[in-house]
Structures are given as structure tokens and as C-alpha cells.
Amino acid sequence: MLKNKKLWVLVGLIIIATAGALFWYSASTAEATTTQATFRVARGPLTISVIQSGTIQAREMTILQSQVEGRTTIIWLIPEGTRVKKGDLLVELDASSLVDERLDQEIRVQNAEAAFITAQENLEVVRNQAQSDVDLATLDYQFAKEDLQQYINGEYPNELMSAEANITLAQEELTRAQEQLRWSRRLFEEKFISQTELQADELSAKKRELDLQLAQNNYKLLTEFTYKRQLAQLESDVRQAEMTLERVKRKARADVVQAEADLKAKDLEYKRQKDRLEKLDTQIRNAKIYAPTDGTVIYATSAMTGGRRFNIEPLIEGREVREREELIYLPTTAYSKATVSIHEANLEKISVDLPAVITVDALPGRVYLGAVASIAPLPDPQAMWMNPDLKVYNTEVYLEDNDEALRTGMSCNVEIIVEQHDDALFVPIQSVIRVNGKPTVYVVNGRTIEPRQIKIGLDNNRMVHILEGLSEGEEVLLAPPLKAGAVDGSKDGVSSEKKDNINDRIKTILNNNNGKTVELLGAEPDNASTQETPEPGRRPNQMPNGAEITPEQREQLRRQFEQMTPEQRQQMRQRFEQNYGGPRQTPRSAGEGEAGQPQRRPQRPAETTTP
């Protein structure tokens, strides 16, 4: 009984609390509908345009640049705005260092010319000497071959014949001496000659015998030793002369090639020094800039637009200028143009040939009509260098009127007309937010506020054109709730269906990796303060798609989770809830409020504006 009583008391308290909450909510809603700023949907003329400040410039002009290398100083400058004729001096740059360098360069040119002439003469000497050496070596080779043939066919046969003749004569003389000795011995026996005469004949016979042996030995020495040695020596002389001739020819060619290379080098050096001298002469001439046509002098620094004018000094005497720097503009026509920088957010609105209305600050009360002539295909690099987050595109607007009062460098405002409507519905642009990728406004209906999807056209950064969904006189909130526009990240304008298709493709790619890449949406860091209770039948280290998580993968996922921003963590939770059908608890980090939502500052309600 006591237990039932306590239960009824608890039910009564819950009913009272619910009633109080409903009363508080209705009171707060009613108060909100009466205190929040609203705008009544208006109907009337609406102009969709892009307004941007710019600079007036001549439509066609001659740009004069510094053609002096490096950096140089202006020593004389014609006053800006001077009307000049063709050939008048506009700028004179300091060329004193170039003049001094030219004197040194003339000396270098003369030395290079002398070296070139010396190389020319040396080449002729080398060629002459090479031809002489080759001729001499050729003659030696020819003589060596002739000496070999002379010995084989001349000297050796003669020596051989002489040796044979000596043997024959020695034999004849020996025979006569022996015959004489035999008769001498018979005469000595008969006492007709003395002993002395016999001994003389014996000595003569002995001498003839020795002469025969000597002649025979000379013949043997000639045929077996002298001939072979002399023949080998002469053949070696021929080979040496042939190799010497080859060496001389190669050395001659090498000397000639070396002399030709030296001549070519000296020629190139001479030409290089002459080119350098001519370049210095050109640089000295370029130090004085003359007017190529008639016109009015305009300093380039005065005509610069955008951020470039803030980091460049004005053009004055004594200022240093760099090579290729623009110095003077000479307009060649009286027609003008306006140069503006269009932000990337407005780039889709404008196109070539759109009309534009131009007003000049220095000429109040005058309005000029123009048309968009060109839009740069890439952002201005100078603006990106000064502010990497700023992307603007240089756009030229040609003015139709030829007004002599317009001068280059004048500031102007350009309004590019995109659309004009005589009768259109419109609301302030801050009243429209995107919910699930669709433009939505919050309409005040009595004491309640209801969201309504609408169809919109272009806006002029203040008012947006309403095509469907609203009627004239209806009231809409100027400051719609931000949480409604943050659902599914719909502010990017991407439909939920397309996001679902992207998520399905991501899941397919991850599943096709055979578990090598763990799906980030289902990963949980190791140091999470709150762990998810695993589904029935699923292990704690198993993903909802069945993939196993290794310790290395868990550590990698933990590091990735720690490096995420609060917005990235919230997106991960939303994708996980969408893919696996349930909330996932993740640790909150600094800068996050309840339920992991990033803390937002309250937005001030926008003021009601009229077109």
C-alpha cells in the first residue's frame, strides 16, 4: 500500500513538472514572437547588382618600364600631368656606374681582340709546323723502306758476290802457291834454288791457305749473321719510321685541333666581351627614357589599384627603381576604363557584357554608363600575397562616354547591374537560412513561428529576391534560429540524398580494403572517458562492420581523434549515427558544450533594411 502511494505521488510530481514546462515554453514563445525583430515581406523594384570601388584608367596606353638591369636611382623626372610629344625626355636614371664599367669593358674587349688575333696566327703556325713534321716523318719512312729494299736487292747480293769472289780468288791463289811450292821443292832438291827461296814459297802457300779460310769465314759470317742482323735492323727501322709517322700525324692533328679550339674560345670570348660592351651601351642609352608617342604623363604609382599601391613608394627623384618596373603611363586614347577587384563570392553573378554604372568621387553629380569587358581567369596574386584568405579577380569595365575630365588614377564606384525587376518580392538576406540544403525563412503566424521553405533568386548583399513561398505583407524573422540551419551541416547547400550517396561510397571503399583500413566512423580512442557498450554478439575490439581493430590501429585512431577540431568530431558523430543507427559517446574536448556541440556566441538580431 505504501509502495503504491509513493508511486502515485511520483506520477503527480511528473505531471506538475510537465505542465509547468509547457506553460513556460508557451510564455517564452509568445514573448519571443512579440520581442524578436521581424521584417514585412515587401514588393517593389529590386536591382541585383555588385558594387565595388575601383580606379579610372586609360583604356589604351603605352607602359614605359625601366630597362636598366638591377636597381638604379632616378636623377630626373618629368612632372606628372605634363603634355609631351614624341621624343621628349621623360625619365633619366643614374648611369654613372655603367659609364665607369664601360671603360673597363673597353679594355677587356681590346685584350680579348689581341688574344683572338694571336690565336689566329698561332693556328697557322701550328698547321705549318704540323705539315712540316708530317712531311719529314713521311720522308723518313720512305727512306727506311728504300734502305731495306736497297740492302735486300743491292748491298747484300754485292757483298755475297764479293765474298764468293774472294773465296774463288783465294782458292786460285792457293792453287798457284801450292804449284809454285811443289816446283820450288823439286828445284831445291836439284840445288837450283836456295833454302830461303823455298821457305818463301812455303810461306806464300801458307798465306794463300789462310786467305782462303778467311774468305770462307767472311762468307759464312755474311750469310749466317750479318745478313740476318742487318735485315732485322732495316725492317725495324721501317716499322719505327711507320709508327713515328703515325705519331707525328696524330700529334699534328691534336695540335691543330687544340689551336682551333683555342681560337674558337678566344673568338667566343672576344664576341662575349663585345656583346657585353654593346649591352652596356644599350643600358646607358636606356637610362634615358623618351616618349614614344604624344600623350599626358601619368606616374605608374598613381594609377596602381588594390593592395599594390600600399607597398610601393611614390615615383620621385632620388627613388630607386628595379628592372622591368613600370614608371610612366602614356594614354594613347581618350576613352577610359574602370578597374575593380571582384570578390570570389560575387564571381558567379557577373559576366562579360553586363552593364555597369560608374560614379567618380572627384566628379560629383556625373554618372557614366559602361559594360564589363574582361574578368581575370585567376585571382590577383598581389592581393593573395598580402592576404592569403582574400581572393579577388581583376575586372575591367569600359566606359562608353569620352569625358576629358576623367583622369587616370581617379577613385570611382562601379555598380555592375546583374538583374533589374520592376515588381519583385524581397526580404533581407539575413532572414534566409538553409535547412537540409533548402532556403528557409521563419514566418510569424500570430503568436507562433513556423519554418517555411521558399524559392529564392539572386541577392544584392542586402536583399534577396523571393520567387516562391512568401506573400507580400507576411512577417519573417530577421534573426532565424541558428540551430535549425546547422542540422546535417546543411549550410553548405548539399542535399541529404547526395550526402548519403557519398557516405555509402566511403563505406564501400573502406570495406573493400579487406580490413587494412579501419573505418574511422566506428573507431574509439583508447583514452575515451566513456566507453560504448558493445552490441550483443560483438566483441569490444570489433567494428560494427565486422573488422577487427589491432592495437596499432587503435593507437593511430586515438591520435587522429585528438587532432580533430570540435566541428570534425561532431561531424564524425553525426555520420556514425546515420550509418549505424545510434548515438556514439565520445569524449568532450575544450571548447565544446553539452552533447559535444561547439559553444556559439549569441548573434545580434540584424536591423531591418530596405532596398
In the block, residue with C-alpha cell 735486300: 152
Q: Evaluate whether residue 468 is within a structural domain.
A: no
Q: What does the alpha-carbon distance between residue 471 and residue 37 come to, in Å, rounded to a whole number?
A: 19
Which of 229, 252, 286 is at the close of a domain? Answer: 286
- CATH number assigned to the domain comprising residue 313: 2.40.30.170
Name the amino acid, one letter, at 257: V
Q: What is the domain range of residue 567?
A: 515-596
Q: Evaluate whether residue 470 is within a structural domain.
A: no
Q: Do 142 and 209 have their domain in common?
A: yes
Q: Do 246 and 319 have their domain in common?
A: no
Annotate 454-480 with DSSP letters as a single string: -EEEEE-SSEEEEEES--TT-EEESS-
pLDDT exceeds cutoff 60 at 587: no
User: How confident is the model at residue 495, as a pLDDT?
Assistant: 58
Q: Do 353 and 238 have their domain in common?
A: no
For 86-89, the CB contacts below 8 A with 24+ separation are 86/291, 86/292, 86/293, 86/294, 87/290, 87/291, 88/290, 88/291, 89/288, 89/289, 89/290, 89/291
Tens digit of pLDDT for each residue in 366-417? 999 999 999 999 988 877 877 888 889 999 999 988 887 888 778 899 999 9
pLDDT exceeds cutoff 80 at 331: yes
Which of 396, 419, 442 is at the close of a domain? Answer: 419
Give me the chain's average pLDDT, please.
79
Q: Do 240 and 123 have their domain in common?
A: yes
Residue 47 Cα to chain centre, angstroms: 45
Q: Do 127 and 272 have their domain in common?
A: yes
User: How confident is the model at residue 531, as a pLDDT?
Assistant: 41
Q: What does the alpha-carbon distance between residue 26 and residue 328 come to, in Å, rounded to a whole number?
A: 72
Check the CA dihedral 570-572-575-578 and report its sign.
Answer: negative
Q: Evaluate whether residue 136 is within a structural domain.
A: yes
Q: Say how many C-beta atoms besides its own lie within 10 A of residue 297's C-beta.
A: 22
Q: Do 184 and 260 have their domain in common?
A: yes
Three-point CA angle 550, 551, 554, nearest 5°: 90
Q: How many domains does the chain have?
A: 3
Tens digit of pLDDT for each residue in 124-178? 999 999 999 999 999 999 999 888 898 888 888 888 888 888 888 888 888 888 8
Q: Do 133 and 272 have their domain in common?
A: yes
Q: Evaluate whether residue 37 is within a structural domain.
A: no
Grid cell, residue 463, equals 536583399
Q: Does residue 459 or residue 531 have the better pLDDT?
A: 459
Q: Do 385 and 408 have their domain in common?
A: yes
Q: Evaluate whether residue 380 is within a structural domain.
A: yes
Q: Are 380 and 362 in contact (CB under 8 A)?
A: no
Q: Do 236 and 297 have their domain in common?
A: no
Q: What does the alpha-carbon distance between residue 122 and residue 76 come to, in Å, rounded to a whole number?
A: 51
Tens digit of pLDDT for each residue in 15-34? 665 555 544 444 444 344 44
Q: What does the alpha-carbon distance between residue 397 and residue 417 come to, in Å, rounded to a whole number?
A: 12
Q: Evaluate whether residue 241 is within a structural domain.
A: yes
Q: What does the alpha-carbon distance between residue 384 and residue 343 come to, in Å, rounded to a whole number?
A: 12
Q: Are 270 and 109 in contact (CB under 8 A)?
A: yes
Taken as a whole, the chain contains a residue count of 611
Confidence tier at 90 by pLDDT (50, 70, 90): very high
In the block, residue with C-alpha cell 552533447: 595
> Is the whole-model pTM more than 0.85?
no
83-98 b/e with 16+ CB inside 10 Å = b?
ebeeeeebbebebeeb
Query: Any alpha helices (H) in 226-322, and if so which ranges?
Result: 227-286, 300-303
Q: Do 555 and 587 have their domain in common?
A: yes
Which of 384, 400, 419 is at the close of a domain? Answer: 419
Q: Do 297 and 282 have their domain in common?
A: no
Q: Do 118 and 261 have their domain in common?
A: yes
